[in-house]
Amino acid sequence: MSNARIGILTISDRASRGEYEDKGGPAIRDWFTRVLISPWEAVALVVPDEQQLIEAALIELCDIEGCSLVVTTGGTGPALRDVTPEATIAVCSKMMPGFGELMRAASLKFVPTAILSRQTAGIRGKSLIVNLPGKPSAIDDCLNAVFPAIPYCIDLVEGDRLESDPKQCNAFRPQSAAIRKN
Amino acid sequence: MSNARIGILTISDRASRGEYEDKGGPAIRDWFTRVLISPWEAVALVVPDEQQLIEAALIELCDIEGCSLVVTTGGTGPALRDVTPEATIAVCSKMMPGFGELMRAASLKFVPTAILSRQTAGIRGKSLIVNLPGKPSAIDDCLNAVFPAIPYCIDLVEGDRLESDPKQCNAFRPQSAAIRKN
Amino acid sequence: MSNARIGILTISDRASRGEYEDKGGPAIRDWFTRVLISPWEAVALVVPDEQQLIEAALIELCDIEGCSLVVTTGGTGPALRDVTPEATIAVCSKMMPGFGELMRAASLKFVPTAILSRQTAGIRGKSLIVNLPGKPSAIDDCLNAVFPAIPYCIDLVEGDRLESDPKQCNAFRPQSAAIRKN
């Protein structure tokens, strides 16, 4: 079983210039290190909040690096420089609105400003792209909410198989999944 | 009172080739048979997961068959061949995001993979089109969730009047509905 | 501290012809009068359900009148003349899907037909545009749900500062907000 590859894309003007320590990317890596029990490796990039550069990084992580899952951190708010969702939509062939809905609903239990997040998710080829917030604590809340559906989603687009520790976060595959392949 | 017409569109490569018994279409028909008390008739079609053929079937059911309500089953997941939402968006003049949100929230009570459904709904002329899942048990969960709003929605687009058995599923029409027509 | 400006746009064929007393606009004004404690003034307009006229009014309220917040009432349903969301999408550079999701979820506690509302929100320049329902009681439910996130959203797009009476409706600004500006 070869390593599954997970792209971790930090989107931040300040982090890309080295003015600010990237905290979102490491928080995502820590979460997957704790939860995944199948072999995997991270491919991490940092880009500024420029739509064209974000799109290029997403395409590289999906098409060249062969990441079955690409998670972004940062750039999902309402401010002028926040363009991560627009870049995500531009590179995906299919959008998955349920991810954004559930992540906002999950974050809303903690802060009323959760509705300001424009996070989305979509499919590009055999890769799933998911936008996460910039703030480390909010990253955990969002991954805990949506990860249970991620391994089966990647199965359906014929990406790498991910297995999680059910004591950490319980990935769900329908019982009919094996049958449906026949 | 003439029969209201309800289009039931099964979208499945295997069912369209006769390799697989269509279970979604009959499950939808059974649900409406149990719930509706006003006269109605079904117009059922089966097409493969091809966007152009799905669009053509939706247009036929709305514009030629005069169905006030068209429900689809299948093709709403993330896989390459799942293009039902894209076909629905292409033929509708107005999208109704609340249907997909509520169906995903309702299904999420049963399976965490509910967020993988890209179901949507929209208006084409005097018809409401609603995407349902492919799995019969999930069809019932989704119709139970959204049907209460469907008869009034169809009233507002000047389609056929639907009446339901309140013991089965309680259609809601605001008290101001009659007044607003004046 | 100069007055913050709030645009209140009533969208109704009958109200624009004077055949019907506008109740939505005054309900919105009453809500803000009760809740806001920082200085503000309303800029109120009434237009018919014509997409081009709605777009022109939204642009005027944002770009010429300098309203940091523009709220609309009416025109969000499925009927042929309901085009407020389409006009909103046409004039915004960024959409904020969390507003519509939360307003529908909040209204769904009262009426199952809440899913028929196509309300959305978005950013145009330094202004936030939010679609509210036409019915006064539903306006209050929606503003109570989403207002807590509105002042911070307007801060992020560099609009006017809004302060609310926490006993009426508690606007939330993250503790990191001041730090993040540095």
Please name the member of C94, C95, C172 whose beta carbon is closest to the beta carbon of A113: C172
Architecture of the domain delimited by A4-181: 3-Layer(aba) Sandwich (3.40)
Q: Do B77 and A156 touch (CB under 8 A)?
A: yes
Distance CA B106, CA B109 (A): 6
pLDDT for residue A1: 63
Minimal Cα–Cα distance from C14 to chain B, Å?
A: 11
User: Does residue A180 carry a pLDDT above 70?
Assistant: no
Structure tokens at B126: 């005097």
C112 Cα to chain B: minimum distance (Å): 6
The two tokens of residue C99 are 């507003």
- Enter the tokens of residue A84: 């991560």
- pLDDT, tens digit (0-9, with 9 covering 90-100), for A101-131: 999 999 999 999 999 999 999 999 999 999 9
Please provide the size of chain B in residues: 182
Q: Report how far Cα B109 is from the mean position of its chain's Cα atoms.
A: 21
Q: Output the pLDDT for position C182.
A: 35
The pLDDT, as a whole number, for residue C177 is 63
- Would you state the structure tokens that stand for residue A116, as one six-digit string? 């300001």
Q: Which residues of C touch A79 (CB under 8 A)?
A: 156-157
**H helices then E strands: how many in chain A?**
8, 6
Round to whole Å and give the CA distance between B86 and A107: 29
Separation between Cα atoms, residue A30 and residue A136, nearest integer Å: 10
C-chain residues within 8 Å CB-CB of B173? Answer: 113
In the predicted model, what is the mean pLDDT of residues B78-103? 98
Which of B98, B172, B173 comes nearest C117 by C-beta?
A: B98
Name the residue facing B78 among A94, A102, A172 (closest C-beta): A94
Q: At what angle do helices A84-91 and A51-59 cross, to 10 degrees?
A: 40
Q: What is the pLDDT of residue C108?
A: 97
- pLDDT beneath 50, residues of chain C: 179-182
b/e burial code for range B57-66 (CB count within 10 A of at least 16 → b) = bbbbbbeebb
pLDDT band at A175 (very low <50, low <70, confident <90, very high): confident
User: What was the pLDDT predicted at C1?
Assistant: 63
Structure-token match 């068209």, residue found: B70
- Search chain A and give the residue with CA nearest C97: A118
Sign of CA dihedral A97, A102, A107, A109: positive
Mean pLDDT, range A7-22, rounded to an integer: 95
Q: What is the structure's pLDDT at B179?
A: 47
The predicted structure's pLDDT at residue C28: 98
Measured torsion, CA atoms of residues A113, A117, A118, A122, in degrees rounded to the nearest 10: -140
The tally of CA atoms less than 13 A away on the side-chain side of residue C95 is 19
- Whole-prediction pTM value? 0.96
DSSP, residue by residue, A135-151: SHHHHHHHHHHHGGGHH
In chain B, which among 4-33 make CB contacts under 8 A with chain C? Answer: none
Chain B residues near residue A95 by CB distance under 8 angstroms = 118
Give the DSSP letter of residue A164.
B
Token pair 């008290």 is found at B175
Q: Spell out which residues of chain B touch residue C108, defining contact as CB-CB under 8 Å.
A: 102
B120-131 per-position pLDDT tens digit: 999 999 999 999
User: Mapping DSSP to helix (H, G, I), strand (E, B) and coil, where does residue A176 land?
Assistant: coil
Q: What is the ipTM of this complex?
A: 0.94
Given 3-state DSSP classes, what are the helix, strand and coil percentages for chain B, each rounded to the nearest 5? 45, 20, 35
The pLDDT, as a whole number, for residue B177 is 62
pLDDT tens digit sequence for B106-150: 999 999 999 999 999 999 999 999 999 999 999 999 999 999 999
Chain C interface test: which of A103, A113, A117, A120 (most C C-beta within 10 Å): A113
pLDDT tens for A52-81 read 999 999 999 999 999 999 999 999 999 999
Compare all CA atoms of chain C with the CA of A107 and give the residue at the minimum distance.
C98
Is the distance from CB of C9 to CB of C71 less than 8 angstroms?
yes
User: Which chain B residue has its CA at the smallest distance from A144's CA?
Assistant: B112
- Assess contact for A42 and A32: CB atoms under 8 A: yes
Please tell me the distance from the alpha carbon of residue A131 to that of residue A100, in angstroms, as a whole number: 8
The residue in chain C having the minimum alpha-carbon distance to the alpha carbon of residue B105 is C105
A156 interfaces chain B, CB cutoff of 8 Å: yes
Q: Is it the case that residue B52 has pLDDT exceeding 50? A: yes
Per DSSP bridges, beta strands A121-124 and A40-47 are: unpaired
Query: How far from chain centre, in Å, is Cα B179?
Result: 28
Segment A162-177 mean pLDDT: 90
Q: What's the pLDDT score for residue C2?
A: 86
Which of chain A's residues have a Cβ under 8 Å away from the Cβ of B74?
none
Domains of chain A, by residue range, sit at 4-181
pLDDT of residue B178: 52
- The per-residue pLDDT for B2 is 86
